[in-house]
Amino acid sequence: MVALLKRYRYCIIFLGILLFGLTSVLVFGDNRDDSYSKLNYDDWVLDWVENFDKQEIDTLIWSKIPRGKYAWNDMMSDDDRCFDLRNGCLILRGILNDNKSNDTSKYLTGGIYTKYKKSFSPGRFEFRVKINGAQGAWPALWLRPFKQGKNYPWDGEIDVVEHLNFDPYIYQTVHSYYITKLKQFNPKHSKKAQINIDEFNIYGVEITEDAVTFYVNGEKTFIYPNKELSQNKDQYPFFQDWFILVDMQLGGNWVGAIDEEDLPVEMEIDWIKHYKRVRK
């Protein structure tokens, strides 16, 4: 018997390792970054994914966000220094502008959106992102209605992530006419969620007829309900088609002063996914 064991000891060792591996997957999960062990996907089907694995940003889907008059876009630039594709990630930067030959702004920031190009139906959105931190940095992942109204953001906005400076948490928020104009804050429309800014995190939101539900790494963080399932679009304009925005920004009254020694600052976006709900 001992001789037999010695003869087949390598086979036994290999089978033991294989059995341990299979047991680990069954007990602990496979630890893949692109899945939630805590969420039920039975009611959802993957509709679209952006992996940023090409050499250039797909301009059939994305456009660089132009400069605007609001605090979130008043430093937006198409300068190549604000954008990169690295190791399968989109890199968006906030930088000190040391070359003012084409743009006199002191600071420049990068952002992209699918506005006018690709719409997404109500469903589940997921973003795998490493935010990083800098004093004065204000990166965001958010959604706005594909059919734009005249009264932004009264016609609806969903902020999946807004992050300030080096905070160990993010803000997840909805905006509407009911909240912005009528100043109705019941139900609550915003909440903080704890994160580790030194790591990639998966940020999610589900949009249904009933509610907008936010997640961080598969943990439910916040729910904004459709009160009594009413048809009041002032209170719940969120069951509509959206476009995606991903952007870096610097400064403003909310985030505070910029520390130039912290620049450039990067946000790294690994992937973005959209799921449609399965009707049963």
Of the candidates 232, 170, 223, 235, the one whose C-alpha atom is nearest the C-alpha of residue 201 is 170
> How many other C-beta atoms are found inside a 10 Å radius of the C-beta of residue 93?
22
- Find where tokens 């709900």 sit: 277
Task: Give me the residues paired with residue 250 across strands.
Answer: 137
* In contact, 223 and 212? CB cutoff 8 Å: yes
Domain ranges (residues) in the chain: 1-31, 38-277
- Tens digit of pLDDT per residue, the chain (280 long)? 444 444 444 444 444 434 434 333 333 233 334 444 355 667 889 999 999 999 999 999 999 999 999 999 999 999 999 999 999 999 999 999 999 999 999 999 999 999 999 999 999 999 999 999 999 999 999 999 999 877 777 889 999 999 999 999 999 999 998 898 889 999 999 999 999 999 999 999 999 999 999 999 999 999 999 987 766 778 999 999 999 999 999 999 999 999 999 999 999 999 999 999 887 5
- What are the two backbone dihedrals, phi and then psi, of residue 177, each rounded to the nearest 5 degrees? -60, -45
* pTM for the model: 0.85
For residue 97, CA distances in Å to 55, 64, 71, 79, 80 come to 25, 18, 18, 10, 12
Find out if CATH 2.60.120.200 is the number for domain 38-277: yes
Task: Give me the residues paired with residue 212 across strands.
Answer: 207, 224
